[in-house]
A and B are shown apart, each in its own frame.
Chain A
Amino acid sequence: MSLSRRNLLKRSGAGFGTVGMLGALQSTGALSGMATAGQPGVVAAPHHAARAKRVIFLFMNGAPSHVDTFDPKPALEKHAGEAPTDDNGKKRAGGYMPSPFRFGAHGDSGVVMSELFPNLARHADDLCVIRSMHTDVPNHEPGLLLMQSGHQQPTRPCMGSWLSYGLGTENENLPSFVAISPGLPVVGPQLWSSAFLPGRHQGMEVNTNHVEVDKLIANLNNPRLSRDDQRRQLALLDQINGRHRQSRPADSALDTHIRSMELAFQMQSVASDAFDIRRESQATREAYGDTVYGRSCLLGRRLLENGVRVVQVFYVTKGGKQPWDTHSNNNEGHKKLCADSDKATAALLTDLKQRGLLDDTLVIWGGEFGRTPYAQMNKSKDLKKAGRDHHNTGFTMWLAGGGIRGGMMYGTTDEFGMHAVENRVHVHDLHATVLHQMGIDHTRLTYRYSGRDYRLTDVHGRVVSDIIA
């Protein structure tokens, strides 16, 4: 089986000369050796008009249960306890488990969600709930990597890095991509890795177990020197560097370093402000809730407002790297988790809206996959303590803002919530759609590495045009 090369060339589609905008400049040498944050934020012309300028991805680590949140399945009641068969015809251990939560339609649009989201219900008309998500595997590690980077192995840049690479930053005093997580989630920093893209597209990791800005950003301030001390240091440094530069007229890279030092000095004050949620009013802080996730969302909003392009919020707790992984006590677990997630997420939407930011901010909510419509029992076979297992062939995520149609439920799973059947949306399709909203054609944002042009969606992905406003 020998495919002709020219044949393949034709099939490869995204081909020559379609690197990211910044990359294009780099590859022509326009920025060689100095494509840096020392440059003004490189915001290049997008492929088409962008509907969103920034993204915040609220990631529920461990995977929320779709049948308890946004995808009601009355059939589970009727067939409760009946065991579905697996691929090999074997009965699943636990039978179908109905959700104990009441569902209702909300807003003018009648978007349906369970009673676990009383606050979010008020934003029903802003949400586009995709009930027909599917992904490749029911395992956390590859599932997380696929959701963040489009690939199951830890060798590819994540979506935030691609966006940073493609669009640059809007505030050169801040990183373009920030990953907010109270401690590390499962898989860890690979989820905000730039992999083979230049290092500055790496998500900046912020540990929201802390509130103090000095602890959020390593080395933001010098513990021993005052701002005046440093101002004086930099004045001297400028003299010294200036003399050094003068005798090296051909080495313009030196300028980048001089400028970057000044930027770092500016960043200390800009970041000290942007990263400090204590500057928010008491009322705002209360609206988000004084939980780690609430603080993460609030910090996320401050960063978006200050020009950060992509914010990734991981729902992780001090004791749990994937709190939504409810293999046992699914119902109790979801009650608590949703209460926290509901309050802060709704507050974020309200806040973004009030500030006029929701229109061009894309909000994404969801996990790496869904949970089984049937029960997972422990040895005691106590249904009250039953959990739900990992489930990848049908689950729910929702989007809001950023030019997405609000008040919409898109796609369906089958009668039991087992498999996405109608208007199926793969993770690659989600990525293609997010990039599209940001003004990027996912087949054309490429980076040449290791002999080929890589892209976030590899050879997959289609823009889900039905959900675009």
Chain B
Amino acid sequence: MLPTRASLVIFGLLVAPFATADEFFESRIRPVLVEHCYECHSESAGVIQAGLRLDAANKMREGGDSGSVIVPGDPEASLLIRSLRYEDIEMPPSGPLDEKIVRDFEAWVKKGAVDPRGDAAPSDQDNADGIDWDAAREFWSFRKPVEHPLPVRNPEWTAANWIDQFVQARLDAAGLKPNSPADRRTLIRRVTFDLTGLPPTADEVEDFVADPSPDAYERVVDRLLSSPQQGEHWTRLWLDVARYAEDQAHIVGKNDSLTYPNAYFYRDWAVSAFASDMPYDDFVRMQLAADVIAPDDRDAHLALGFLGLGPKYYRRGAPEVMADEWEDRIDTVTRGLLGLTVACARCHDHKYDPIETEDYYALAGVFAGTEMFNRPIDDTVKKKGPNAEKPQDAEHILREGKPRDLNVMIRGDVNRKGDVVPRRFLTVLSSSEPRKLDNGSGRVDLAEAIVDTGNPLTARVIVNRVWRQFTGAGFVETPSNFGVLGETPSHPELLDTLAVRFMREGWSLKWLQREIVLSATYQQGGGASEVAMQLDPANRLLWRMPARRLSIEAYRDAVLSAADRLERRIGGPSMEPHVADSTRRTLYSKISRLDLNPLLARFDFPDPNAHSAKRVETTTPLQKLFLMNSEFMNKSADTIARRTLDTAESLPSRIEFLYRELFGRRPSQSEVEWAESYVSTDDAEAWMRYAQVLLISNEMLFVD
């Protein structure tokens, strides 16, 4: 609200010596400010741009994010004047003002920038500078997880292990009870998909169903956990986190110098790390700093692909482009490993979480001191400096660069330098002084800060990621955001106890997976009572196991497996998964940032240009067109049809063969009847059409 003209005059009279200067301001300066500046630079602006208010004398003197905008007496030194002249900043954005107006402003500043307007009351926002760190550390995810005492068991219910006691205590309190266990066919199908990403074979199902021993399930679990396919399956989860890809979104002409033709070395390293149950803390250490931790172990350095396969942007080398690349590294590391959105603090303090811009640049320094390295595969390849000349001859890893601390970039602008921030870990995750990250680039220090058992986030975040693979929903359904805008956990005591025990068990992911699948919670059936559906329709309290849709990887692999076409070779160069003759697991797909494979793109594969917190699930007709019409599906249906005709003679036995191979069960009476009226001959084409219907049915696409 502007003061009235009359009151201004009175104000002017009270400060009589400046009456002329006031007049000048009122007639030449203020109207321009009102007309051209207030929209963005006043209290009434929805967003106060650049933190600069021009609607009160004190505010205008204070300036904004770039510091003061007026140096009374010195127009040349006044950012306001330079901006009006369109010299560095260009204001107003709609076009330069009349030269005459600019000259008025110059004259006004020269004469001392007299501003007769009153001061705005300091609002509460001005007092909030600085974060109360002790208070900030009280937020649930910043407190160290502790092991909770096990809740008392309800003797009426099956509790297979301690996880169930936590789950059932919550159910009890809500007046719910867990479902009875799933039948064995359902169970082996579920656990085989969840641990290996593949369906059980018909024989595996029948063996399990027929096995009377009390530890039959446990033996199945242990067999699956030790299978190489387990490593393949869990690698895909990790590759989403690591935004794994084999090229760049920008490829200029045929210039492949920034691509990663040997990216699969990293993927294969991850497969073997998961298969050998590398402790998660070491898994993280190696991916961040294997070159420093184990300088002589060349193979271990492939782990560095986690960052070494990161996006390289067009015109890299330019300061602003490198700043974008550091943001990618920070985003991947902090969301991926810590469940924190530190990249939000690049241009300003985090709006919700206690992360300051200084925290961001203190971390960015680590990546500024690290180089992307195309290490020559061996001594025979042509080199350019330390790098292999051609990416085809290289392992795409990291090496130490020149250690450096960065200036804060004000508003994220590389040209506006604030104070230098020494490299250090996040303040809120440090109980006192943040750990310095200053050995070399600081990557080893960073890795140690992340996997420190005192770090409240690392174990919780990975435990939550693993949990949601088994239940379809995490304790925290924002798996990469444990901050203020993230969800609060559905089962905080269970999450924390799992996290603490996980660390105590040597950060063993296989231990974690085993504990989860051996729980009665995991083994329960999918039934739904009306009462439970009303009390907890979203199943947050885990009273049932819902039908879950398979990922594109698991579905495609299951189709290949059902057709007995699946090639089981582990590792090696990548392939195109939509091609009819590609028979390797979907994990081995080429992953392109430039042109993602159309099959993957169509089925919710995440954009590999950035870290993916979790898969989004969509159901579209275009997906179904692939199922109905593609050569890949036709060929798979063909193969199955031929196997059926070759294996079984009678119509009922053929139908039964198909059901056992695809679903691990016998067909129902009605299913046999429908099949008999659909396909009644030995015609391979008709069997192909029938097999295809089964392949694209919901039973094939979902796991109970």
Q: Which residues of A contact B (CB under 8 A)?
A: 1-14, 29, 33-38, 132, 139, 141-142, 152-155, 173, 175, 184, 186-190, 193-196, 198-200, 202, 204, 217-225, 229-230, 232-233, 236-237, 239-241, 243-245, 248-251, 253-254, 256-258, 260-261, 263-268, 411, 420-424, 426, 443, 448, 450-452, 459, 462
Contacts and interface: CB of A to CB of B under 8 A. Distances in A.
Enumerate the 7 nearest inter-chain pairs by beta-carbon distance, A residue then B residue, closest first: A451-B341, A13-B47, A250-B528, A264-B624, A154-B249, A264-B621, A4-B128
A77 to B, nearest CB: 26
B344 A264 contact: no
9 contacts: A2-B130, A36-B618, A152-B324, A236-B693, A241-B697, A250-B528, A451-B486, A459-B49, A462-B93
B236 interface: no
A459 B609 contact: no
A220 B598 CA distance: 14
Nearest to B128: A4
Nearest to A29: B538
A229 B689 contact: yes
A250 B544 CA distance: 10
B252 A251 contact: no
B348 interface: yes
A4, A13, A152, A230, most chain B CB atoms within 10 A: A4
A267 B367 CA distance: 49
Contact of B624 (A34, A224, A261): A261
B125 A7 contact: yes
Nearest to A132: B95
Contact of B129 (A4, A33, A37): A4
Interface string B597-626: 010011111010111010011111111111
Interface string B332-348: 00010000010110001
B47 A3 contact: no
B483 interface: yes
Contact of B699 (A10, A230, A240): A240
A426 B315 CA distance: 22
A236 B678 contact: yes
Contacts of A189: 594-596, 601
B349 A6 contact: no
B629 A253 contact: no
A173 B620 CA distance: 10
B696 interface: yes
B221 interface: no
B71 to A, nearest CB: 19
Given A8-B349, A37-B619, A451-B344, A199 B602 contact: yes
Interface in B522-565: 526-528, 533, 538, 544, 546-547, 549
B47 A184 contact: no
B604 A199 contact: yes
B533 A250 contact: yes
Contact of B607 (A186, A196, A423): A196
B102 to A, nearest CB: 14
Given A190-B594, A421-B96, A239 B46 contact: no
B505 interface: no
Interface stretch (B264-272, B512-520, B668-676): B668-676
A3 B617 CA distance: 38
B566 interface: no
B6 to A, nearest CB: 32
B621 A263 contact: yes
Contacts of A225: 629, 689
A7 B349 CA distance: 10
Interface of B: 46-49, 51, 65, 93-96, 124-131, 249-250, 252, 311, 313-315, 324, 331, 335, 341, 343-344, 348-353, 356-358, 408, 410, 418-419, 480-481, 483, 485-486, 526-528, 533, 538, 544, 546-547, 549, 593-596, 598, 601-605, 607, 609-611, 613, 616-631, 634, 668, 670-671, 674, 678, 685, 689-690, 692-694, 696-699, 701-702, 704
A354 B622 CA distance: 32
Contact of B621 (A173, A187, A241): A173
Given A187-B249, A189-B596, A257-B698, 9 more contacts: A1-B65, A1-B408, A2-B358, A7-B126, A11-B51, A190-B249, A190-B593, A199-B618, A237-B697
A251 B625 contact: no
A428 B644 CA distance: 60
Given A8-B348, A232-B678, A256-B619, A154 B250 contact: yes
A1 B129 CA distance: 10
A220 B313 CA distance: 35
Contacts of A258: 698
A199 B65 contact: no
A220 B547 contact: no
Contacts of A421: 95-96
Nearest to A4: B128
Contacts of B344: 450-452
B702 A153 contact: no
A379 B513 CA distance: 67
Contacts of A198: 604, 616, 618
A188 B690 CA distance: 39
Given A36-B618, A199-B604, A229-B689, A220 B629 contact: yes
Contacts of A239: 670, 674
A284 to B, nearest CB: 28
A296 B513 CA distance: 52
B250, B324, B335, B357, most chain A CB atoms within 10 A: B250
B693 A13 contact: no
B314 A141 contact: yes
B628 A230 contact: yes
Given A6-B124, A233-B693, A236-B674, A1 B620 contact: no
A233 B687 CA distance: 11
A451 B485 contact: yes
B696 A155 contact: no
B668 A243 contact: yes
A70 to B, nearest CB: 19
A422 B51 CA distance: 26
B480 A249 contact: no
A253 B549 contact: yes
A1 B420 CA distance: 11
A424 B93 contact: yes
B621 A237 contact: no
A347 B418 CA distance: 55
